[in-house]
Amino acid sequence: MNNIVIVPFNEKYIDDIFKISTMSFITPWTRKSTEEELQNKFARYVVAKLGDVVIGFGGVWLILDEGHITNIAVHPEYRGIGAGDMIVEALIEICRLEGINSMTLEVRKSNIAAQALYKKHGFIEKGIRKGYYTDTKEDGIIMWKFDLSK
């Protein structure tokens, strides 16, 4: 059993989240964008910690009755120990508690590991956004999880 804990995102985690983003995404959000999410009334973010070390994070925007996962990332040195699962579970629980009925996200067509993570948690492929990722023109797979009450 690991000792990973999930905590709410706050300003003391910005540097860690920005660092993990730059290691995880082709085009990471800027530090300013990360800071602005603290003021976004639609955003809910969580941080995964192992002891005092921030090892991952994830976020969701609550829009009407839908949750839109914005990003999930785990530090490369801590992948494969369950942090991603815990982050997804935490975001699903946040949506349930906020009365959200379904969740959606886009994931790079090449990101097989992320697709597997989402499928493990009940997300299904529902479409393709052609050239969605402007940095590489890669397609984005649209995934949904319906009926969060289950």
* 12 found inside a domain: yes
Q: Taking 70 as the threshold, does the pLDDT of residue 150 lie above it? A: no
**What residues make up the domain containing 62?**
4-145
> Among the listed ranges 1-5, 20-24, 39-43, 64-68, which one has the minimum average pLDDT value?
1-5
Mean pLDDT of 37-41: 94
Chain position carrying tokens 């984005």: 140
- Supply the pTM of this predicted model: 0.94
Inside any domain, residue 78 = yes
150 lies in some domain: no
Residues noted as catalytic: 106, 118
Mean pLDDT of the chain: 94
Residue 122 lies in a domain: yes
Helix (H, G, I), strand (E, B) or coil at 122: coil
The DSSP 8-state label assigned to residue 30 in this structure reads P
Residue 145 CB-half CA count within 13 A: 24
Q: Is the pLDDT of residue 141 over 50?
A: yes
Residue 20 maps to a domain? yes
Q: Is 64 left (phi over 0), alpha (psi -120 to 50) or beta?
A: left
Does the pLDDT value for residue 143 go beyond 70? Answer: yes
Q: How many angstroms separate the CA atoms of 122 and 40, rounded?
A: 27
What percent of the chain clears pLDDT 70, i.e. is strictly above it? 99
Q: Does any domain span residue 14?
A: yes
Max Cα separation, the chain? 41
CATH number of the domain encompassing residue 28 = 3.40.630.30
* Residue at 43 is within a domain: yes
Query: Tens digit of pLDDT for each residue in 69-102?
Result: 999 999 999 999 999 999 999 999 999 999 999 9
Which secondary-structure segment (H or E) carries 4? strand 4-8
Q: Which residue has the higher pLDDT, 28 or 117?
A: 117
Is residue 76 a part of any domain in this protein? yes
- Give pLDDT, residue 26: 87
Number of domains in the chain: 1
- pLDDT confidence tier of residue 1, bands split at 50, 70 and 90: very low
- Residue ranges with strand state E in 39-145: 43-50, 53-63, 66-74, 102-108, 124-133, 138-145
